[in-house]
């Protein structure tokens, strides 16, 4: 009679065979040099849109020759433009869409026409790439939301912290000037107490718009918290930052919010600090905040410059 354990032995043997098949399939997947397989494999390694477009560009070049690849997409307030190479007079353009949603435009250019076989290969490559690109775009939207103030749509304090850290790194590496402005709406609590939080919110949104209009395209404004705003100014010395702060102050002073029987106005105080050598983001922010405190102490509706503190370079 057959042993009662025979079925179990058979299953163990089947399991071993199955594991061998899995190992071989995994090795084949990892070692396959077919461009379509390579693209599929590599596009699964990142959720960063710029990295995915760079991967697509690199792999596509092994299959179809082109002189320039350009990818454009707008996510929220941010425009992403990725460009590789120099263009030619012949172009093929693709609007990337999936399930009715738009995920950017991709353009290829070179000096001679694209063959139909090449165009088919490009479209097959895009068919592989579109889902990873969709996922990266959706991830960017979520990430952008975590860095955006929901009321004013300005970047929030977390975004400012990241920007200050990056600015310090760049400033040290390239010996570049960066300045920081901290603005605080004067007597804002009184506005909320008198007119209510709805009017207060309107005033905050209007102030955020005025600050954005007052700064240069290279500058970035943030809602620092409550009624506080910040502006980061790259390649900017102290005197130029003071000019921007004064422009903000004047625009806010001219701001009026209609609330029926009354027109609500507000002023702003500002502190300016230009980053010093070897200064940490926290130290830099603390000096700007100290300058803001001085502006408040001097009667408000004015700009104060942060004190320069000698720091040891040893």
Taking all residues of the chain, what is their mean pLDDT, rounded to a whole number?
91
pLDDT digits (tens, 9 = 90+) for 216-259: 989 999 999 899 999 999 999 999 999 999 999 999 999 998 88
172 and 134 in a common domain: no
- Please state the φ and ψ torsions of residue 184, each to the nearest 5 degrees: -135, 125
- CATH number of the domain encompassing residue 116: 3.30.450.40
* 227 belongs to the catalytic site: yes
Residue 314: pLDDT band (50, 70, 90) is very low
pLDDT tens, position by position, 154-202: 999 999 999 999 999 999 988 899 999 999 999 999 999 999 999 999 9
166 and 259 share a domain? yes
Residues 100, 67: one domain? yes
Query: Considering 95, 121, 146, which residue would you say is the last residue of a domain?
Result: 146
Rounded Cα gap, residues 44 and 135, in angstroms = 10
pLDDT value at 145 more than 50: yes
Q: Inform me whether the pLDDT recorded for 312 exceeds 50.
A: no
Number of domains observed in the structure of the chain:
2
Whether 196 and 299 share a structural domain = yes
Angstrom distance (rounded) from CA 63 to CA 39 = 11
Give domain status of residue 1, yes or no: no
Please, what is the angle between helix 35-42 and helix 49-61, to 10°? 170
- What span, in angstroms and rounded, lies between the C-alpha atoms of 53 and 132? 10
Look at residue 310 in the predicted model and tell me its pLDDT.
42
228 and 132 inside one domain = no
Instruction: Answer yes or no: do 292 and 164 share one domain.
Output: yes
Give a yes or no: residue 5 inside a domain: no
Whether residue 8 is predicted with pLDDT greater than 70 in this model: the reply is: no
> Rounded CA gap, 125 and 42, in Å?
12
Domain identity same for 182 and 246: yes
Whether residue 198 is found in the same domain as residue 139: no
- Residues 84, 221, single domain; the answer is no
163 and 102 in one domain? no
Residues 301, 161 share a domain: yes
Q: What is the pLDDT of residue 11?
A: 57
Indicate if 298 and 188 belong to the same structural domain: yes
Catalytic one of 227, 228, 238, 290: 227
Which CATH number is 207's domain given?
Answer: 3.30.70.270
Whether residue 308 has pLDDT greater than 70: no
Task: Determine the pLDDT at residue 9.
Answer: 46
Structural domain range at position 262: 157-305
Picking from 126, 146, 166, the residue at the C-terminal end of a domain is: 146
């Amino acid at each position: 009679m057959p042993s009662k354990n025979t079925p179990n032995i058979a299953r163990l043997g089947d399991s071993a065979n199955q594991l061998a098949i899995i190992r071989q399939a995994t090795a084949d997947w990892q070692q396959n040099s077919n461009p379509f397989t390579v693209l599929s494999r590599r596009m699964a390694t990142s959720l960063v849109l710029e990295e995915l477009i760079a991967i697509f560009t690199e792999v596509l070049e092994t299959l179809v020759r082109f002189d320039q690849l350009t990818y454009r997409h707008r996510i929220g307030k941010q425009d992403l433009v990725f460009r590789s190479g120099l263009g030619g007079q012949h172009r093929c353009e693709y609007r990337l869409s999936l399930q009715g949603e738009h995920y950017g435009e991709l353009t290829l250019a070179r000096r001679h026409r694209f063959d139909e076989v090449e165009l088919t290969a490009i479209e097959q490559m895009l068919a592989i790439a579109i889902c990873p690109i969709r996922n990266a775009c959706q991830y960017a939207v979520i990430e952008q939301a975590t860095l955006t103030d929901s009321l004013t749509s300005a970047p929030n304090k977390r975004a400012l912290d990241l920007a200050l850290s990056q600015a310090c790194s760049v400033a040290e590496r390239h010996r570049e000037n960066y300045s920081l402005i901290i603005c605080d709406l004067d007597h804002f609590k009184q506005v909320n107490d008198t007119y209510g939080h709805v009017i207060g919110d309107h005033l905050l949104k209007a102030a955020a718009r005025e600050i954005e209009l007052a700064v240069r395209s290279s500058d970035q404004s943030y809602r620092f918290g409550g009624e506080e705003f910040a502006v980061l100014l790259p390649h900017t010395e102290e005197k130029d930052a003071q000019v921007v702060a004064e422009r903000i102050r004047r625009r806010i002073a001219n701001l009026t919010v209609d609330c029926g029987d009354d027109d609500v106005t507000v002023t702003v105080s500002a502190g300016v600090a230009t980053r010093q050598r070897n200064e940490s983001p926290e130290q830099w922010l603390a000096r700007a905040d100290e300058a803001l405190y001085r502006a408040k102490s001097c009667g408000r509706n004015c700009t104060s410059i942060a004190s320069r503190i000698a720091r040891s370079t040893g």
